[in-house]
């Protein structure tokens, strides 16, 4: 089997594990386990909490002491055990701690997967810039396929989604140990400090007013992403009484997967939009897209309003890709070469860490506020989220004064 084929299997399965539960787990907890919105939001916030420190810590382990592919394998094997345990839990408090541990071992594997892929391609004399993107896109395919499998076999509100996630994580953990060795000495060109790995030496960027504004908004936009990951499918399941035979209720996973398909397609448009509008405007477009994402959810339904839900899924690709990719490019341009890696780490902490933590907790409280006797007023819920994004959009152009236009950019990204 060729090196590229082996890496395609790695990337596909890496995100298949995540796609098996990330979008549908919220619906399972609300519809089947009867958890409250606040409890579900808190459980999803564990991804943000884990992302604050675990990728940096395990990155140091892989850089200094243990082969990266082995760290990757051990994380997935531990995740397999925790996901299986989560499938047996009915208590929200215990579920929180088990999913926190699961996220502590899964979230670092996203970066480790990339590091292993880079190292193996480089050792095999492949140009990483040319050959990694066609390999990495299979990760997004794996995420979508997992959503489709869980939906088509009827596991969106069943613990079976956690069984399939656990089984695929175990298989990937074992598979990782068969990959070509990625020893610490060949991967780390220089010693990495804990402060640098956690992105903390880039905190000096907060002395620059525009960078401080940018990182603050990165956290707020990261919160918006967490909202639909947490409650998107739960929202669709609540239409079961009115639209039991509709496509959106029967196959919520298939409908939600349009978001990931859109994300993949919008990545390809990034160079055009950046060249035509520049970073500031493309980030504004992203914030406006979040307003539409939530607003269309509030207006749509699985019946006559199905087209509005589909449009919301399509717009998600623009909302997610434009801020994350252009934001990463902005950091690359503005940070000093000596702290660029840490600056990118700080960007990820603000979006996937602090932002996801805020989004999970706050969105859960909003859902509970608009829940009376177990009935959720989803229209009001989504309109509150749309208003939140609208406020960000109104403030952003006045707070952020960056004017440099960007002519080209390399698209990259991960499923959201």
Whether 379 is in a domain gets the answer yes
Per the prediction, the chain carries an average pLDDT of 86
More confident residue, 369 or 403: 369
Read off the pLDDT of each residue in 63-67 and give the average, rounded to a whole number: 84
**Is residue 268 domain-shared with residue 133, that is, in the same domain?**
no
Task: Look at residue 189 and tell me if it is in a domain.
Answer: no
Question: What is the per-residue pLDDT across 199-225, written as a single tens digit (0 to 9) for each?
Answer: 566 678 888 888 888 889 989 998 988
For residue 371, list its beta bridge partners: 376
How far the first Cα of the chain sits from its last, in Å, is 30
Q: Do 97 and 224 lie in a common domain?
A: no
Backbone angles phi, psi at 181, to 5 degrees: -65, 140
Together in a domain, 200 and 174: no
pLDDT tens column, 233-291: 889 989 988 888 888 988 998 999 999 889 888 877 877 887 788 778 888 999 999 99
Question: Six-digit token pair at 366?
Answer: 């909003």
Question: Does the pLDDT value for residue 108 go beyond 80?
Answer: yes
Pairing of strands 371-372, 375-376: antiparallel
Let me know if residue 47 belongs to a domain. yes
Contact (CB, 8 A) for 67 and 183 = yes
Residue the block writes with tokens 């398909």? 261
Tell me what pLDDT residue 38 has: 92
Q: Does 407 score more than 60 pLDDT?
A: no
- Beta partners for 376? 371
pLDDT above 60 for 410 = no
Specify if 129 maps to a domain.
yes
Tokens of 187: 């991967």
DSSP classification of residue 339: G
pTM, entire model: 0.81
Name the more confident of 64 and 284.
284
Residues 122 and 246 in one domain: no
- Which stretch of 148-162, 173-187, 336-350 has the lowest confidence by average pLDDT? 336-350
> Tell me: the pLDDT tens digits for 7-20?
999 999 999 999 99
- 177 and 213 share a domain? no
The model's confidence at residue 405, banded by pLDDT at 50, 70 and 90, is very low
The boundaries of the domain holding residue 363 are 195-416
Question: How far is the C-alpha of 116 from the C-alpha of 184, rounded, in Å?
Answer: 11
Regarding whether 218 and 151 lie in a shared domain, the answer is no
Is residue 188 situated within a structural domain? no
| 187 in any annotated domain | no
Q: Pick the last residue of a domain from 153, 182, 211.
A: 182
Distance in angstroms (rounded) separating the CA atoms of residues 361 and 132: 35
119-147 tens-digit pLDDT: 898 889 888 767 777 888 899 899 999 99
The answer, yes or no, to whether residue 345 has pLDDT greater than 80, is no
Residue 353 DSSP symbol:
I
- 340 and 385 within one domain: yes
Q: Are residues 278 and 410 in the same domain?
A: yes
Residues 206, 131, single domain; the answer is no
- Measured over all CA atoms, what is the biggest interatomic distance in the chain, rounded to whole angstroms? 62
pLDDT at 103 over 80: yes
CATH of the domain at 298: 1.20.1250.20
Check residue 403 and give its pLDDT. 59
Q: Within this chain, do residues 149 and 232 fall inside the same structural domain, yes or no?
A: no
167 shares a domain with 113: yes
């Amino acid at each position: 089997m060729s090196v590229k084929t082996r890496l395609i299997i790695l990337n596909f399965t890496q995100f298949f594990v995540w796609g098996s539960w990330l979008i549908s787990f919220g619906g399972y907890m609300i519809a089947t386990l009867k958890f409250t919105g606040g409890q579900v939001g808190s459980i999803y916030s564990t991804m943000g909490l884990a992302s604050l420190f675990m990728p940096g810590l395990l990155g140091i382990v892989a850089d200094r002491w243990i082969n990266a592919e082995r760290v990757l394998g051990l994380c997935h094997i531990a995740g397999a055990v925790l996901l299986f345990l989560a499938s047996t839990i009915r208590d929200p408090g215990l579920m929180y701690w088990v999913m926190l541990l699961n996220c502590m071992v899964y979230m670092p594997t996203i970066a480790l997967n990339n590091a292993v892929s880079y190292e193996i391609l480089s050792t095999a004399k492949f140009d990483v810039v040319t050959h990694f993107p066609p390999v990495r896109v299979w990760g997004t395919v794996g995420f979508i396929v997992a959503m489709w499998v869980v939906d088509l076999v009827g596991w969106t509100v069943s613990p079976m989604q956690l069984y399939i996630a656990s089984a695929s994580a175990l298989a990937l953990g074992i598979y990782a140990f068969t990959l070509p060795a990625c020893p610490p000495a060949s991967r780390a060109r220089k010693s990495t400090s804990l402060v640098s790995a956690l992105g903390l030496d880039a905190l000096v960027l907060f002395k620059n007013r525009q960078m401080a504004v940018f990182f603050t908004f990165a956290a707020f936009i990261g919160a918006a992403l967490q909202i639909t990951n947490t409650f998107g499918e739960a929202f669709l399941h609540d239409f079961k009484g009115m639209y039991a035979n509709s496509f959106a209720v029967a196959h919520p996973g298939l409908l939600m997967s349009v978001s990931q398909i859109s994300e993949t397609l919008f990545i390809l448009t990034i160079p055009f939009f950046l060249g035509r509008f520049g970073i500031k405007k493309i980030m504004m477009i992203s914030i406006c897209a979040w307003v539409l994402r939530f607003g269309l959810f509030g207006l749509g339904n699985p019946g006559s309003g199905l087209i509005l839900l589909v449009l919301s899924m399509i717009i998600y690709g623009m909302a997610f890709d434009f801020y994350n990719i252009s934001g990463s490019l902005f950091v690359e341009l503005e940070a000093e070469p000596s702290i660029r890696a840490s600056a990118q780490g700080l960007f990820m902490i603000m979006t996937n860490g602090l932002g996801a933590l805020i989004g999970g907790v706050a969105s859960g409280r909003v859902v509970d506020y608009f829940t009376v006797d177990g009935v959720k007023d989803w229209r009001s819920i989504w309109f509150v989220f749309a208003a939140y994004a609208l406020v960000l959009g109104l403030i952003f152009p006045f707070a952020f004064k960056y004017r440099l236009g960007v002519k080209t950019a390399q698209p990259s990204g991960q499923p959201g």
